[in-house]
Chain A
C-alpha cells in the first residue's frame, strides 16, 4: 500500500495495481459477434488472439484489438461518496478513506475499460455532484481519472437520495459499485437500494473504513468531533469502547443484510489493507452478471 501511495498519480496507481493483479490470469469474458466498430485498443495479455487486427499489425508492427459496441456490453457505474467523513485518516501512514476509495474505483474502472466494459462515474455528496456517462474508451478513462482525482471531499452525504437520482440516469441492468462509509439512515438507504434493484442493477458496496472505525482502539479521551456536522461529544474511550463496537458491528451486519436482500454484495475495505479485494469482488460479481 505504501508503494501505491507513493506513486504520483491515480492513473499510475491504478495501472500498477491492475497490471500486477490481472497479468496472465484472466481471459476477456467478452463474447459474441460485433455489431459496430467502436475503437482500437492495445492488446493486453489474456485477450483473445482472434480479435487481433492482423492488418493493422502488419502496418504498424503493434498488436491492437478491434472494439465493437455490443448490445450485451456491461455498464459499470462507479459511485464515490465525497462527504467529509470520507476524508478521515486516523494515522499519517495510512491514506484517507476517500483516497483509498478513489484508488479502488480507478482500479475497477481500468479493469472495466480493459475488458471493454463501459464505465461511468457518479460523485455524491449532499447531492449528485458529478455524473459521467458510461463509456469504455481510453479517453473516457482519462476523463474518469481526472474527475475522480480532482474531487474535493466535504459536507454531508445524502447517499440514498443521490442513488435514487442516479437510478434515473443510468440504463437498466448496470452494475453499480458504491464506495462509501455508508453513514446514512438505514431506511433511506434501503429504499434507494430497492429502487436500484428494481431496475435490475447489480450492486456492489465497497464499505471503506479506517481501522480506527473498525477497532476503536484509540487511547485518547476528550472531545470527539463529528467531521461532518461539527457535533462534539465528551468521550471516555475505555468506557464506551464495547458499546461502540457492538453498535458498529450491528451497523455492518445491517448493511450486509441490506445489500444481500437487494442481491448485491458488500466488500469491507480497510484503508490499511490492499484495495485489490475490491477488484476481486468486482470481477467475481461481473462474471456472475455476464
Chain B
C-alpha cells in the first residue's frame, strides 16, 4: 500500500482523542443492590460483559473512523496494481545527425520495430526523440500500433548528441508508469561525444531494464568541414577534419547559391586539414562542399556569411579608476572571432546600432543626457549600471523606472531566479548557472517599473537585473554599480562571458557573419520579420519570426525586416561529425546492469514517480472505498453509541 499524500496520515494521531475521552469519561462508582432490575429494563444501560464489549467496539469504531478519514485523505493506492502483469516500454530515439551515417538509422530502427512488435495487449509504450531536447513523439500509450507507425516514419535530424538529458527523461518517464516490467529501449549509435557527462558507473534505477542495441562500428570513411573562417576580403579558410586513419582524396567545391566559384582537389590526412579558398569579394555567403560523399554526407557541406556589417563596437562612458568593463569587452576577442571592441562615447551623436553602457552620474547630466535622450529615442541598445546618483535616479524615473536602494545587514547578496531562457544567458546554455549565483554584492538597488521584465532577482525577490522594453529596442538595467566596492563580479570567471553575451544581444550582431550551429538560439534584430532558408533552396514559404530562432537544418538563412536583410550561416556541430562509438562497450552494458536490475525487480516492486503514483491512485480510487468504510463504521458507531450512552 502506498499513499499519494502521506502527510495526511499524521491526522490518525487524533485517534488519541476518543481513547483519552474513553478513559476519562465519568464512571459511577456507587453500587446499589436492588431486589430486581426487571422494571428498569431498557430505560437503563446494562453494565454487563456484553455491554462493556460494546463500549470497546464503539471506541474501536471511533478510532477506525478517524484512521479511515486520515487514510482517505492520504489517498491510498496499490503500487503497480493497475498493471500487474503488463510491461511498459520507452523507446528513446537518437535522432542526432550522426544517425544519418550510412546504415545506422535503418539498422537501429529495424531492431526497435522488432522489439516493439513483441509487446502484447495491455502493454504500454512511448516514443521519445532525444534532440534537441527530449520530446515525446508518442507519449506513453496502449496504442502500440501508433508507436510502431511513428517509429517507422521517424527520421534523424542534424542535432548534436548529448545523451544525459534523454536518458534522464526516459528513466523519469518509466518511473512514473506503473507496470510489472519496465524497459528502456535505447535506439542510438552510442556516439562517444554523446556519453560525455553521463555517470556510467551509476546504473539505471532498479526496476528499469535498459536494452542497448549493438554499438555501431567506427566508420570506414569520414571527414567533415568543421569550420569556415574568413581571412581577408577574398580568402576563406576551410578546416576539414578527417576522422579515418588513412589518407583520403577529396575535391572541394565552393560557390554561392547555384553559382560555382571554384573547386580544388585535396589530399586529407587524419586530423585537421586547413584549405585556403580564394573567393570573390562581392559575394554574400559561401557554400563549401566535399565530394565524393563519405559515410556521413550531412557534414560534407558548410556555409559562411561574408557580407560586411558595421563595426561591433560597444560604447562606454568614462569612469574613474580601472575600467573593468572595457577590459572584459576587449578580452572577448580572445574567446572567438565575435569579440567586441570597447570604445568611449563619441562627442557627437551616439550611433543607434552600437550598444551603449552607462555607469556614471555624468552620463545622466547635461550635456551628455541630451545625447542619451536622443539615443534612447532612436531605439539604441542600452545597458545601465545603477549607482543611485540623483541625476541617474531622476532620468530613470522619467522613463518610468524606480530604483530603491537596498539596505540590511544580510550582505553580501547574490543574484537568483535567473531567467535561464533569456538570450543573454546563452553563454551558459547547457552549463551550470552556479557561477552567476556565487557573485557577491555589497551594494544594490531594487528595480521597479511596469516596462521591466526580470532577468535576475535579489534574494528577497526584488528585481535586480531587468530587460527594459524600450519601444522594441533592447535595453538592460542592472540594479547595482559595476565597481569593486559594490561587487566582486569583475574578478569572477563568469563576468566576461556574461558581458560578452549581453553586449552581443544588445547589439544583435552575434552569430551573424560567423559560425552558428544547429541547436543554437539565434537572437534576431528587433521587430518582426520573415525567416527563410536561402541555401540550400527551400521551396516552402518564409515564416514570420521575431526575437530569436532555433534552426534545425544547416544552411544559410535570411531574416528580412523592412529594409534590413541579414544572413545567418548555420552549420553542423563539429563534435557530431565524430562517429566513433564509446570506446568501452562493457561500460555501457554495466550501465544497463541487467543482472542487478533483474534482481532488484524480483525483490522489490518498481516504484512509480510522482506522476505515475497519481495515475495509479486515480485509476484505483481506493479512497472512495475507504470513505465508504468510514461511513459504515460511523453508522455502526452511532448505533452502538446510542446503546452505550450514559
Contact = CB atoms under 8 A, between A and B. Distances in A.
| Chains A and B belong together in one complex | yes
A235 interface: yes
B35 A231 contact: no
A113 interface: no
B43 A226 contact: no
Contacts of A240: 40, 43-44
29 contacts: A85-B35, A88-B34, A88-B35, A183-B35, A183-B36, A220-B32, A221-B28, A223-B30, A223-B32, A224-B40, A225-B31, A225-B34, A227-B34, A227-B35, A228-B35, A231-B37, A231-B48, A232-B31, A233-B40, A233-B44, A233-B46, A234-B28, A234-B646, A235-B44, A240-B44, A243-B39, A244-B40, A247-B41, A251-B39
Given A222-B29, A222-B30, A233-B47, A85 B36 contact: yes
A232 B33 contact: no
Contacts of B32: 218, 220, 222-225, 235
Most buried by A among B28, B31, B33, B35: B35
A152 to B, nearest CB: 17
Contact of B28 (A85, A86, A223, A251): A223
A235 B39 CA distance: 12
Given A221-B28, A225-B34, A234-B28, 16 more contacts: A85-B35, A88-B33, A221-B30, A222-B32, A223-B28, A224-B32, A225-B32, A227-B34, A232-B46, A233-B44, A234-B44, A235-B44, A236-B44, A243-B40, A244-B39, A247-B39
Contacts of B646: 234, 236
A169 interface: no
A40 interface: no
Contacts of B38: 183, 247, 251
A223 B31 contact: yes
Nearest to A228: B36
Interface SS majority for chain A? mixed
B35 A213 contact: yes
B35 A233 contact: no
A224 B47 CA distance: 9
Interface residues on B, range: 20 to 34
Interface of B: 28-41, 43-48, 646
Interface SS majority for chain B? loop
A234 B34 CA distance: 12
A225 B33 contact: yes
Nearest to B34: A224
Interface residues on A, range: 20 to 34
A200 to B, nearest CB: 32
Most buried by B among A210, A225, A232, A243: A232
A255 to B, nearest CB: 13
A224 B32 CA distance: 5
A218 B31 CA distance: 13
A181 interface: yes
B491 to A, nearest CB: 85
B393 to A, nearest CB: 82
Contacts of B43: 235, 239-240, 243-244
Contacts of B30: 220-223
Nearest to A233: B44
